[in-house]
Structure 1
Amino acid sequence: MFSPLGAISRKENIFTLVPREGLCLFQNCKGLKTLWTRPALQYYYTFLQPIHSKAITNMAPNRGLVHPKEYDIKDSNVELIGSDIDHQVKYNSALTEPAWNDGKVGIEPGLFIWRIEQFEVIPWPREKYGQFCDGDSFIVLFSEPIGSNDGTEKLVHDIFFWLGKHTSQDEAGTAAYKTVELDEFLKGSATQHREIQEAPSDDFLALFPRISIRSGGVESGFRHVEEEEEPKQTLTLLRVFKNPAAGANGVVVHEVEPTWTSLDDTDVFVLDVGDKIWVWQGKDCSPMEKAKAAQIVHDMTVAKHPEVEVIAQTESRSRRIVDFLGGDDETPREGFHCRKPFTPRTTNKASKKLFRLSDASGQLSFGLVKEAERILHDDLESDDVFLLDDGGRAIWVWQGSGSSAAEKKSWLKAAQAYVRHLQAESGNEDAYLTPVAKVVEGGESRAFTRALAA
């Protein structure tokens, strides 16, 4: 019997605390100290610290150079979001978080990005927007104004917590907790999204003209990462390709290693050499990819005015691109195949399923209420929380305005456990890549509305 409501194990803590004027001085085993509010620290000790205990146990003898156990997305420990801290406590905690209290968050429209660094939320430089590190966790907030019934404008918010392929458990756990805290700061009105490096959603990719995933990550209290001086890059190679995730419609622009081994016959590549921009069209690329590349080149030439040349792979002069990228006489002119930065997620065509998460009986229960080609908004009831399986394309959680505190705090735990159930039931190893997002009644996103209408 599938049950998403299991208990979370606890282990002995290994840290010391020093009370200090209503706050707690958090000190890890290496002496790193940070100030936490008592509710946040209570949350940490109850739910996140057991993960760290496991990471510390696995440390090598040379403590200064160890790395923590990487966060395993398949383990779904991000279900720790929304545990035993009530909304008011989280909101009070959010009021003390400098990242949210900059006079802009929740007030001004736009894009805001933070990286988790040593359990803290640090603003990401705007010149690096679109650039992520595979060893880190990030929080991304997008706020946009929409019209309301009274003729005024209000902001709607989407919060994405992005987990790098090699992010650590401490970073993933902190990003998860801080995402809930940010939502509380925004009065619980935001749509929350879990984003995985290997399978980003169209909504996430639409925020950036192009995206770049760099290797490495920030130095944390549990690991030592040598800062490497970034080499001077004279060539920039952008790969333009259709997002391979099932159900995705977007065309992605992704910075890749400027070498001929990055080329692929099925995609378009934009090579910026400084004074000239080359567009290399693979022989099997699509019209959508060509159009997106043209848009990117136009944007690149606004600030500077380099020469632009478009070359089809089938032309003999396309050899010049291969030469620029380090090819030699032995390098082929076609037959280029390079694995895409994102993992294709295979799904079987299936009907939609609607589940109810409710404690109306006195105990929290989770069960199927409808399976059909279409799920209607009328199928949702304000008193409970519902999970919509959009035919394997996405997992949506709808939080009714009258749902109980227990139902609200269990939504992600139930969603993550349901994803694990899908993986075990179908044998589909890609199930963990399924996008997961939560909306609240009255603040449904356009993407959720489309999922219902489809």
Structure 2
Amino acid sequence: MSKQIDSVFDGAGAKPGLEIWCVEKQLRLVPVPKSLHGKFYSGNSYVVLSTVLPRSGPPQHDIHYWLGKDANEVESTLASDKALELDSALGSCTVQYREVQGQETEKFLSYFKPCVIPIEGVFSSDSGQLNGESYKISLLTCKGEHVVSVKEVPFSRSSLNHNDVFILDTASKIFLFSGCNSSTQERAKALEVVQYIKENKHGGTCEVATVEDGKLVGDPEVGEFWSFFGGYAPIPRDSPCVEKQSDSPFSQLFWITAQAKLCPCEGSSLNKEMLETNKCYMLDCGAEIFVWMGRNTSITERKKSISVTEDLLRNQGRSMATHLTFLTEGLETSIFRSYFKNWPQVVEPKLYEEGRGKVAAIFKQQGYDVKELPDEEDCQPYINCRGKLKVWRINGEQPTLIPDPEQTKLFSGDCYIVQYTYPGNGRDEHLFYAWLGRDSVLDDRADAISHMNAIADSSKRDPVLVQVIQDKEPLLFFSIFQTVIIFKGGLSKRYKNLIAEKGILDETYDEQKTALFRVQGISPENMQAIQVDQVSNSLNSSYCYILQTGTSIFTWIGNLSSTVDHALLDRMLELINPTWQPISVREGSEPDIFWNALGGKTEYPRQKELKQHVEDPHLFTLTCADGVNCCQIFSDGGFWILCCLVEFCCRRFQGERDIQLCAG
């Protein structure tokens, strides 16, 4: 490791999750134990590293340096320098954020559940405890519906208002005061904060009381609450505040010179060509400032650029709510790019991509023909996936046609026939699937194949017929549907009769019951939500999940999941139920109510999930008793194609493999 990089960062970023370091008064950086993650002392500055290991591609890192309100300027400068050193140690492939106590970004707050509550005093690595003031009564305000920003306000009646939620933390009781104009979501989040304070500051023994804005003082707990403020007095109404909105977002680009001076960049509009790889720039957007650092700049130049930007904030008396984001060339965020006109969609290759290109070049020099295998996301379907879809459910003698809005919802206890029609060479082509649910009844399976054959015969074409078993669907099946939701249980008469005869609990999906969904896919045009057993060992760090408890909705983000998975999670949530207001939970920060809904916390897979090995394909020939070759079977290890030389002679083929029948 370079002498410019602190040895405390040895091994940083190798594992998923959070790593935190604190700047002590001796101006040295010390690691913070996991038991103290989320506890930030206002007299210190911190460096926080968040690492995500996606299923494919390099690790993803975000660095935040947090400045306590009582930390001195020297410690704050050291924290920003150390954040830059950490970025260098990780290969200059991170995005860095400046966090100021009370004005933290939502991204930073999302790491700590349910919240971050700064503690008065100074951190000491010797004891890991507070060196400063003892326990005192405090008044906190809670804001935010998705992530909670908790801020201590003056202990005074004038701090209360009708719009926010407040927590009064006393030695023996915690009061939750809800302004009459506060939202239900904010109140729910504040209740989580109250529980957190109770467990962490009071050992779980103190009382909790809720006070509604405008409730009569005759209530004993309401009277007790107001006694801390010297008695009850009405809270004045908030005067309306009219903020002047600018017609267009302000932005000004500056070049940061070697002499640490800011030189405005001329031009009527911003474009990417203005950014040179051997220079650093500052983009001032008013409420947010970006520092862009070219890849050919040194650590010294980058430190100087950050120092110049922070001096600008102090000298101009800018608001502490101004966010600073530090970007390395090639890692620009979408917000940063939005200020530039026609930013190219194809960005420069990242370091790992550059290395891959160099290896390929070496092989080519040695005479090898090198071709890159496409990623799973880049594989294009063999047919047009914008055709027409019809879906039937097997329910007795005749299949039932499912209305268009319900076509993408399948049940594991049922069987379905899928007809897909798409434009071919001068005519429409037909593709038929018989999808057999994992828990479906044998009679329904037989009827599904029989009815599929009958519908295919009536099409008067040469259709392709495919038998698909649940959990072994080919990529093309999901590409045709684009979005699929697979529920537990079934709706067919035979399935209902079978579970009634055997006395089995009916697990058919119900919005009022607990349900757990695994979200998977490769793009918005190919994504699935699969209902799994609502137990903790159904979780997997490689995926994202939706947990429905009947009263609350949680989204669980695995440490090894990717940004693509997170985007699919949001889209799928809207499709299952657009009215849900979820509580986002990251792996490792789950509340007790989450584990209780899954029957308690147990072990589950935490390793990166690898793709299953695909066997080499094989070709077989089936010979009838009279010696005639009637069929050829092509197998690729899980998907079977039957090319029948005698019309549909193999419809009675038995087995649990996926079978595709091609009329010869």
Fold shared per TM-score above 0.5:
yes
CA contact (8 A) 2:278 2:296 kept: yes
**Per-residue deviation, 1:250:** 6.2
Question: Quick one: distance in 2 between partners of 1:138 and 1:408?
Answer: 19
The structure having more radius of gyration, on CA atoms, is: 2
> Which residue of 280, 283, 287 maps to 1:393?
287
**Per-residue deviation, 1:257:** 8.2
Matched, 1:92 2:3: yes
Residue 87 of structure 2: aligned partner: 183
- Structure 1 segments unaligned to the other structure (5+ residues): 1-87, 244-248, 339-345, 424-428
Q: Which structure would you say has the larger RCO, counting Cα contacts within 8 Å and 6 or more residues apart?
A: 1
TM alignment of 1:7-406, pairs within 5 A:
91-94=2-5, 97=7, 99-101=8-10, 103=11, 105-117=12-24, 118-146=26-54, 152-208=56-112, 209-218=114-123, 227-228=131-132, 230-231=134-135, 238-241=140-143, 251-254=148-151, 263-270=160-167, 279-286=176-183, 289-293=186-190, 296=193, 311-316=211-216, 320-325=220-225, 327=227, 331-335=231-235, 349=246, 350-357=249-256, 366-370=263-267, 372=269, 375=270, 377=272, 380-390=275-285, 392-403=286-297
- Structure 2 segments unaligned to the other structure (5+ residues): 344-664
**Per-residue deviation, 1:450:** 6.3
The CA deviation string for residues 14-63 of structure 1, in whole angstroms up to 9 with x for no partner, is: xxxxxxxxxxxxxxxxxxxxxxxxxxxxxxxxxxxxxxxxxxxxxxxxxx
**Per-residue deviation, 1:273:** 8.4
Amino acid of the structure 2 residue aligned with 1:265: H
CA contact (8 A) 2:176 2:209 kept: yes
Q: How many residues align?
A: 329
**Per-residue deviation, 1:439:** 0.7
Question: Quick one: distance in 1 between partners of 2:300 and 2:75?
Answer: 26
**Structure 1 pair 236–368 and aligned structure 2 pair: CA distance change class (3 A):** same
Bigger mean CA offset, 111-120 vs 274-283: 274-283
- Identity percentage of aligned residues: 27
CA contact (8 A) 1:115 1:122 kept: yes
**Structure 1 pair 194–213 and aligned structure 2 pair: CA distance change class (3 A):** same
Matched, 1:436 2:436: no
Amino acid of the structure 2 residue aligned with 1:239: T
Bigger mean CA offset, 263-272 vs 129-138: 263-272
**Structure 1 pair 286–141 and aligned structure 2 pair: CA distance change class (3 A):** same
Bigger mean CA offset, 176-185 vs 444-453: 444-453
Question: Quick one: distance in 1 between partners of 2:236 and 2:35?
Answer: 32
Amino acid of the structure 2 residue aligned with 1:334: P
**Structure 1 pair 120–393 and aligned structure 2 pair: CA distance change class (3 A):** same
Question: Normalised by the size of structure 1, how large is the TM-score?
Answer: 0.57
Amino acid of the structure 2 residue aligned with 1:100: F
CA contact (8 A) 1:355 1:370 kept: no
CA contact (8 A) 2:138 2:152 kept: yes
Amino acid of the structure 1 residue aligned with 2:108: F
Amino acid of the structure 2 residue aligned with 1:312: E
Question: Quick one: distance in 2 between partners of 1:417 and 1:264?
Answer: 35
**Per-residue deviation, 1:275:** 11
Amino acid of the structure 1 residue aligned with 2:310: Q
**Per-residue deviation, 1:348:** 7.5
**Per-residue deviation, 1:251:** 4.5
CA contact (8 A) 2:278 2:294 kept: yes
**Per-residue deviation, 1:268:** 1.0
**Per-residue deviation, 1:236:** 8.2
Question: Normalised by the size of structure 2, how large is the TM-score?
Answer: 0.41
**Per-residue deviation, 1:190:** 2.1
